[in-house]
Amino acid sequence: MDWSPLWISLATSVTATAITLIAGLAAAVWRERHSGATLTLVDGIFLLPLVLPPTVVGFFLLLLFGRHGPFGQLLLHFGATIVFSWPATVIAATVVSFPLMYITARAALEQVEPGLLEAARTLGATEWRVFREIALPLAWPGVLAGTILSFARALGEFGATLMIAGDIPGRTETIPIAIYFAVEADDIQRALYWCAVDVIISLALLSALYLWARTQGLASARRPAR
């Protein structure tokens, strides 16, 4: 049994989730501090990969990072290419999972009491300290939920990955791609095996999130009121 799809999927999902956590949280913080009708378009761009078919997202990525695309031509000057390589799987997984992190982190930050933040600023705390010591700890449950959902979404990404990274065994063949081509080859046993692996990982993640949220809720209920 070739285990490479599992390791490729895990490496891709972990890397994409780390990038998504930083980028999504930064975008949520920036959007929370700015308002205006024109920024609705920014929200739409950030959330667009959530509603577009993955193959459409992959096609746009192919236009951007292909040999004739703006980023592709820039990389060619340094003798590098992205398309049909492992970094392409990371890019595809990051783009499709980013909206989940962004919308969850923004919703969590919106729940933070503005008075606490203003009080800290009045006492002379910098914006970075206000975010690090007040906003982030209070919003962390939502951020963690977004991180787990982003990982699960990255793990299940198929369409965009196939468009920009292809199916290269040992390099870009993730679990969803392995399932697809196993079915194409009429290897139902192999397809069922990888489906079971994917379902087990996803259920483990969602169960861990549920148990953690339930534990946090019970701890909050038992905490004495001040």
Q: Does 89 have pLDDT greater than 50?
A: yes
- For residue 59, what pLDDT is reported? 93
Residue 225 covered by a domain: no
39-54: pLDDT as tens digits: 788 888 889 998 899 8
Terminal alpha carbon distance of the chain:
58
Residue 118 covered by a domain: yes
Higher pLDDT, residue 121 or 86: 86
0.85 surpassed by pTM = yes
At 132, which CATH number?
1.10.3720.10
Residue 80 covered by a domain: yes
- For residue 100, what pLDDT is reported? 92
Q: Does 148 have pLDDT greater than 80?
A: yes
Residue 116 covered by a domain: yes
Residue 223 covered by a domain: no
- Phi, psi (deg, nearest 5) at residue 33: -90, -5
Q: Does 168 have pLDDT greater than 70?
A: yes
What is the span of the domain harbouring residue 30?
4-217
Higher pLDDT, residue 225 or 15: 15
Q: Does 75 have pLDDT greater than 70?
A: yes
192-215: pLDDT as tens digits: 999 999 899 888 888 887 787 677
Higher pLDDT, residue 68 or 15: 15
- For residue 219, what pLDDT is reported? 55
Q: In whole angstroms, give the CA distance from residue 160 to residue 118.
A: 42
- The rounded radius of gyration (Å) of the Cα atoms in the chain is 20
CA-nearest of 165, 190, 155 to 55 is 165
Residue 182 covered by a domain: yes
pLDDT band at residue 221 using 50, 70 and 90 as cut-offs: very low
Q: Does 144 have pLDDT greater than 60?
A: yes
Residue 102 covered by a domain: yes
pLDDT band at residue 57 using 50, 70 and 90 as cut-offs: very high
The predicted model gives 60-84 an average pLDDT of 87
Higher pLDDT, residue 69 or 94: 94
Residue 146 covered by a domain: yes
Instruction: State how many domains the chain has.
Output: 1
Q: In whole angstroms, give the CA distance from residue 109 to residue 24.
A: 12
Q: Does 224 have pLDDT greater than 60?
A: no
1-11: pLDDT as tens digits: 788 999 999 99
Q: Return the HEC string of the chain.
A: CCCHHHHHHHHHHHHHHHHHHHHHHHHHHHHHCCCCCCHHHHHHHHHHHHHCCHHHHHHHHHHHHCCCCHHHHHHHHCCCCCCCCHHHHHHHHHHHHHHHHHHHHHHHHHCCCHHHHHHHHHCCCCHHHHHHHHHHHHHHHHHHHHHHHHHHHHHCCCHHHHHHCCCCCCCCCCHHHHHHHHHHCCCHHHHHHHHHHHHHHHHHHHHHHHHHHHHHHHHHHHCCCC
Q: In whole angstroms, give the CA distance from residue 162 to residue 118.
A: 47
